[in-house]
Amino acid sequence: MKKHAFVRIAGLLLAAGCASAQQDFNMRITEGMPAVSFALPPFVSSAAAKTEAAEIYSVLEADIKYTRIFELLPKSYYGYIRPLLDPNNPDFKEWESIQTNVLFAARIEDDPAGGFVFAWVLYDVKSKRPIIAPRRYQYKDKNLRYLAHATADEIMKAYGEKPIFTSKIAFVSNRDKNEELYLMDYDGANQIRLLYNQVNDSNPAWDPEGKRLAYSSWQNLAVGVYILDVFEKARTRVPVSLKGQNYTPAWSPDGKKLAFASSMSGNHEIYVADIEANPTRVGRIKQLTFNPGIDIAPSWSPNGREIVFTSDRGGTTQIYIMDAEGGNTRRISFGANHHDAPAWSPNGDKIVYVARVDNVFDLYLYNIRSGQISKLTEIYARNESPAWSPDGRHILFTSNVSGSSQIHTIDVDGRNLRKLTSQGENKLADWSN
């Protein structure tokens, strides 16, 4: 699920920016269903743990709001019933009386051995049974945000949803002079620099396991494709070609192939390379497109059978889909004379892309089944480089709505615009699984 800016090339390609218990329930929330009423009362806590309780509560509250499948019960409702003093013994009749479907009950207290204990249960109020059986975590460090995010992920998995809260976002920033790769949490927290180069790096693309990034780098005046192990910090160049410029990489859903654009044949076409366990070696490299136009920015369908990409083969920049082997190419964008940066949704039902209409760049959604197109952004700014959240409910993109290029998210229905970055110019973000 990748995103890249379409750029015309004259000679050298310039920077494109352009402890588990058995769960009693496993539910699946589908789009269009009413949100589930979720009660998140204040945590029971010891005096020594009040600060930790407040921080975990704040982060978890924000995560639950972000899900789009839960609706937090207004805090004023809690005043109509007795305070929850024992998370293991709630009065379900009282909670049902204030329209609660799901109750998260937690206790945080200091641990005599050092650190704190965070214990919680998630209840289905109507059945008076746990959705997630009691959990108990002992911790000594101060990574409370991660603890809250991991808890939110457990809740999502109990409902059959893809967890997103411990996922990471890679992006490009020039805050330290040249353009480098950075990493942050899904909500914009904990922004760190990944690479320290004297040249520009761009177009980060997560592998399916969320451990490696493929990206483009301008090394020795040539654009090459590299792979970075985010946790081991190991970096290797993928030898896809000894000539030409190679850029805009995109992993296949099984993590065994990289689609990328290259000028190795003299024209900018799309190729696929078989990636071996050792990324310094590649297997077969296959050219997929053959035409005088510029073909770039591939993005795989979730089943790995098709690739969407950008091409100006028809005289204007448009969006095309082809089979993963290069055949059956068809155009899906019409109307405006500039469409770019397609990204296939994790559910396979939509493609988000950029279109320029009346010199305004906005995000649009193409429905695979119906062929209908809907406009996503209406914020009167240059909105580009979309990428999907792992659950397909949110879209990451670059916008200059605040005056400078920054990373934002928006819900797939166009609601809840959120700005994630502010330091320097930031762009070309990708969201890990």
CA atoms of 399 and 422, how far apart (whole Å)? 11
Domain of residue 412, CATH code? 2.120.10.30
- Domain of 79, CATH number, reads 3.40.50.10070
Q: Is residue 22 domain-resident?
A: no
Residues 199, 247, single domain; the answer is yes
Same domain? 183 vs 319? yes
Is 31 a member of any domain?
no
Residue 51 domain flag? yes
Choosing from 135, 158, 181, the residue where a domain stops is: 158
DSSP annotation of 337: S
Angle in degrees, CA 405, 407, 408, rounded to 5? 120
Residues 346 and 224 in one domain: yes
Asked if residue 135 is part of any domain, the answer here is yes
HSE of 291, CA atoms in CB hemisphere, 13 A = 16
Domain assignment present for residue 20? The answer is: no
Kindly state whether residues 372 and 333 are assigned to the same domain: yes
Cβ atoms of 299 and 309 closer than 8 Å: yes
Listed in sequence order, the residues at least 6 apart from 34 whose beta carbon sits closer than 8 Å to its beta carbon are none
Tell me the residue range of the domain where 139 lies: 36-158
Residue 305 lies in a domain: yes
Last residue of a domain, one of 105, 134, 158: 158
pLDDT at res. 222: 81
Q: Are residues 143 and 199 in the same domain?
A: no
pLDDT digits (tens, 9 = 90+) for 240-252: 665 788 999 999 9
Find out whether 192 and 182 touch, Cβ atoms under 8 Å: yes
pLDDT in tens, the chain (433 residues): 444 443 323 222 223 333 333 333 333 334 445 689 999 999 999 999 999 999 999 999 999 999 989 999 999 999 999 999 999 999 999 999 999 999 999 999 988 888 899 999 999 999 999 999 999 998 887 789 999 999 999 999 999 999 999 999 999 999 998 999 999 999 999 999 999 888 899 999 999 999 999 999 988 778 899 999 998 888 888 876 657 889 999 999 999 999 999 998 889 999 999 887 665 556 678 999 999 999 999 999 999 999 999 999 999 999 999 999 999 999 999 878 899 999 999 999 999 999 999 889 999 999 999 999 999 998 889 999 999 999 999 999 999 999 999 999 999 999 999 999 999 999 999 999 9
End residue of a domain, out of 125, 158, 191: 158
Structural domain total, the chain: 2
- Residues 178-192 as b or e (16 or more Cβ within 10 Å = b): ebbbbbbbbbbeebe
Determine the Cα angle at 347 with ends 343 and 349, to 5°.
70
d(CA 274, CA 251): 10
Is 217 found in the same domain as 144?
A: no
pLDDT of residue 177: 86
Whether 362 and 233 share a structural domain: yes
Kind and range of the H or E element at 262?
A: strand 257-262
The answer to whether position 176 is within a domain reads yes
Q: Phi/psi at 53 (nearest 5 deg)?
A: -60, -40
Write phi, then psi, for 97 (nearest 5 degrees): -65, -20
Give yes or no: residues 417 and 349 share one domain. yes
Question: Could you read off the pLDDT of 282-338 as tens digits, one per residue?
Answer: 667 899 999 999 999 999 999 999 999 999 999 999 999 999 999 999 999 987 889
Whether residues 137 and 230 share a domain: the answer is no
Angle at 409 between CA 389 and CA 179, to 5 degrees: 95
Sign of CA dihedral 219, 1, 18, 165: negative
- Does 8 fall in a domain? no
If asked whether residues 147 and 178 sit together in one domain, one would say no
Query: 425, 165 in Cβ contact below 8 A?
Result: no
Same domain, 234 and 122: no
How far from 392 is each of 135, 344, 357, 373, 423, CA to CA, in Å?
A: 28, 10, 25, 17, 27
Place of tokens 């899906």: 332
Q: Are residues 236 and 371 in the same domain?
A: yes
